[in-house]
A and B are shown apart, each in its own frame.
Chain A
């Protein structure tokens, strides 16, 4: 997993609520057996018409907006547990998603792939979304060590589990940790059997 420390970037606004993982990556693209290439199909059916031509009205096709930060409406990542959604966002180049609410499984999947979900209040999200929509060149800064999100509409601190933070900063994941616990796990197994 790639390490995450700080990030300074412009942002892409996607003011839609309840974006489910089927929209982030439709099921027909889940036939791969590795993690590569999902970025090409992120938001596939919003980005492209059925005949394969680009949907010019969708924000990812609007060259005014760019950057590795996605700002999305409430309840982002609901629905299917497919981690392919996180792979698709990371593959496309996103490093941070800002929303007022994240679905549980998506949040875990994102963190396990070095994609940082930042939860902000609904009011803050609205202000930030509006500002970025009318000022596409505005930048946001994320400082993970200090859990600080700096934006043109204000600076705020965000929550993250301390263990998960260490993992992101160092590029570790839970497999390393759990394998280091195998003795304890074996002892537990002996106890319950």
Chain B
């Protein structure tokens, strides 16, 4: 029987298989950040174990960092302490760190691909659930808890049960104005937030083949929001072209050899999946969420569903929305374009194209937070910065920012925020905040109009 893309990469990394089926899986790259690593370093210190392969670890500061005045000492004492601890741990253990202000600094899932660290056929982990992003390259990439961070530190391996396999196929041509974010919000709205639990997902079909690498990252990023540990897309010419020439990518002959191997990373025609779904590109429209989990999404032109279910009602109550209502014309005071889902240059290009020559609505506070220093530089170099600034948007410095609101970038209680991030959980963007997930295009249009608009009418 044939193998899937996932099988091929997984099986190539199995060090050992135990009697009850658990496997020791070798990890090629371990990404770390300040929030989920300190307790793992501490654990190793306590047991007097040294880090097995510091050369396979890359560190960045992103979750708990300010997005203004990054050149000044971090004001919040606890945050500063956490960042210092990361720097100290990296120094002690010879781990490369792209700290605050470094030209390679940014959100962990933005910098690793843009630096060429993420490559097809690898296994990658990080103490962060959106590690699934890197699956866009045909990489097995998934989030882990801090105990597992310590395990990888100690052994460069994890003890795991091989997940089941799921494939999501989307074929056809996307309508204009429909972005990769809409595709994944649509899929999750159809399948629900736990449909992927226990599975690793492969995205296949012409929609993903036609997508840019950045679009594929947006899709794979949200795999975890349907419960899947990770999502993957088979590497192709688009992938190789993207990687070529990046700082940490293989060069010259080595690159060609790698490409020859990467080309073999495709699901065989006779391989089977434990679960498979099919969707039509033509059915997808610009999406928005109305509830408190990412599966609660609708087309902007649709009305909120009418369900009799206690958890559903609790969610609508939190959002202060009514069953059966339309979201079009809903006033919005906050817009956030950022996060590891949508903070790459293409996201800002799309937003800038819409914003150019317009003014944001006076009621709106609009934050643009680039995913990395490099993206920030690109925004400037391509002239997008002046478009946004002239329209009244605030461009901040890179980091996770209002995606999880660990720093000062918080949405006030009761306020709505149209956000390009990935989670609309209660209080995710600040205590009492209400998040509506959408694409960068929908977010930009909301900022201009000060309310939700049906962009399909433009």
Contact = CB atoms under 8 A, between A and B. Distances in A.
Interface stretch (B149-157, B345-353, B367-375): B149-157
B193 A75 contact: yes
B145 interface: yes
B15 A181 contact: yes
B425 A16 contact: no
B432 interface: yes
Contact of A32 (B78, B148, B163, B227): B78
B24 A31 contact: no
A18 B311 contact: yes
B325 interface: no
Interface in A25-84: 26-28, 30-35, 45, 50, 73-75, 78-84
Nearest to A33: B38
B194 interface: yes
B127 A178 contact: no
Contacts, number: 179
Interface string B295-324: 000000000000000110010000000000
B22 A161 contact: yes
Contacts of A185: 15, 24, 26, 52, 155-157
Contacts of B154: 175, 178-179
Contacts of B128: 80-81
B13 to A, nearest CB: 8
Interface residues of A, number: 54
Interface in B67-119: 76, 78-79, 81-82, 85
A162 interface: yes
Contacts of B146: 83-84, 109
B155 A179 contact: yes
A34 B26 contact: no
Contacts of A82: 35-36, 145
B415 interface: no
B274 interface: no
A68 B15 CA distance: 38
Contact of A16 (B76, B157, B193, B311): B311
Interface string B227-267: 10100000000000000000000000000000000000000
A8 B405 CA distance: 39
A47 to B, nearest CB: 13
A81 B425 CA distance: 14
Nearest to B147: A112
B20 A109 contact: no
B286 interface: no
Given A26-B427, A175-B151, A185-B24, A103 B227 contact: yes
A133 B406 CA distance: 35
B194 A74 contact: yes
A23 interface: yes
Given A50-B432, A75-B193, A105-B143, A178 B161 contact: no
Interface string A1-26: 00000000000000111101011001
A188 B311 contact: no
A79 B423 contact: yes
- Which of B227, B314, B425 is packed against the most chain A CB atoms within 10 Å? B425
A27 B426 CA distance: 11
19 contacts: A16-B314, A18-B311, A22-B427, A28-B431, A32-B78, A45-B427, A45-B431, A45-B432, A75-B227, A78-B194, A78-B227, A83-B39, A83-B147, A173-B147, A175-B49, A179-B154, A181-B24, A182-B52, A188-B26
Interface of B: 15-16, 18, 20, 22, 24, 26, 35-36, 38-39, 42-43, 47, 49, 52, 63-64, 76, 78-79, 81-82, 85, 127-129, 143-148, 150-151, 154-159, 161, 163, 193-194, 197-198, 224, 227, 229, 293, 310-311, 314, 404-406, 413, 423, 425-428, 431-432
Q: Which 8 A-B pairs have the closest CB atoms?
A: A112-B147, A31-B78, A83-B145, A109-B145, A178-B155, A33-B38, A81-B143, A17-B311
Interface of A: 15-18, 20, 22-23, 26-28, 30-35, 45, 50, 73-75, 78-84, 86, 101-105, 108-109, 112-113, 161-163, 173-175, 177-179, 181-182, 184-185, 188-189, 192
